[in-house]
Amino acid sequence: MKHTLNILVNNHPGVMSHVSGLFTRRSYNIDSIAVGVTDNPEISSMTIVVKGDEKVVEQVKRQLLKLPDVLSVKDLRFMESVTRELVLMNINATDKIRSEIITLCDVFNAKVVDVSDKTLMLEFAGNSRQVNAFIEMMKKFGIIEMSRTGQIALSCFTEEIS
């Protein structure tokens, strides 16, 4: 089972390395990792997606909380959180198929962010299932290049951190 961990950490050099190193030492594979500064420049939010049962995830959470720069760890449940990923892709887009691609972008609420004679660069954000579906729809046109972010997430129920 996949678990989405939201980890608040002190925004110091090397913190991401210490956190990811804990996963490496315990032989836990990270499916996705994304890190960014919060509204407080002294705190960063890490979203890590891992596979494991409840027992494994509880052990990971306890180990993370032992690290000096980790402030909190939450296992975000699907029904209690909002998750998003971003994908950018260059697609083959000849004149004949350009309108079909743009129509699909409208359906998915994706954006065309760059245009050339033979390609379109597309941007799409959604949950993992939506991103996967969008990628599948674009494969038939020919994906030239693609970059996908790690998942980010927030709990629907927030409490203030002091």
Asked if pLDDT for residue 160 goes beyond 60, the answer is no
User: Is pLDDT larger for residue 2 or for residue 43?
Assistant: 43
In a domain, 111, yes or no: yes
Strands 2-10 and 70-76: antiparallel
In a domain, 160, yes or no: no
Is there a single domain that holds both residue 7 and residue 62? yes
User: In total, how many domains does the chain have?
Assistant: 2
31: its two tokens: 């499916």
92: its two tokens: 């083959």
Query: Which of these three, 27, 56, 76, is where a domain ends?
Result: 76
Asked if pLDDT for residue 139 goes beyond 80, the answer is yes
101-112: per-residue pLDDT in tens? Answer: 999 999 999 999
DSSP code of residue 53: -
Asked if pLDDT for residue 162 goes beyond 60, the answer is no
Asked if pLDDT for residue 58 goes beyond 70, the answer is yes
* CA dist list (Å): 62 to 3, 69, 81, 147: 15, 14, 21, 33
Residue 92: which domain range?
84-152
Helix (H) or strand (E) holding 130: helix 128-139
Angle at 121 between CA 118 and CA 122, to 5 degrees: 135
Q: What is the CATH number of the domain that holds 69?
A: 3.30.70.260
Model confidence pTM above 0.85: no
23-57: per-residue pLDDT in tens? Answer: 888 888 899 999 999 999 999 999 999 988 888 88
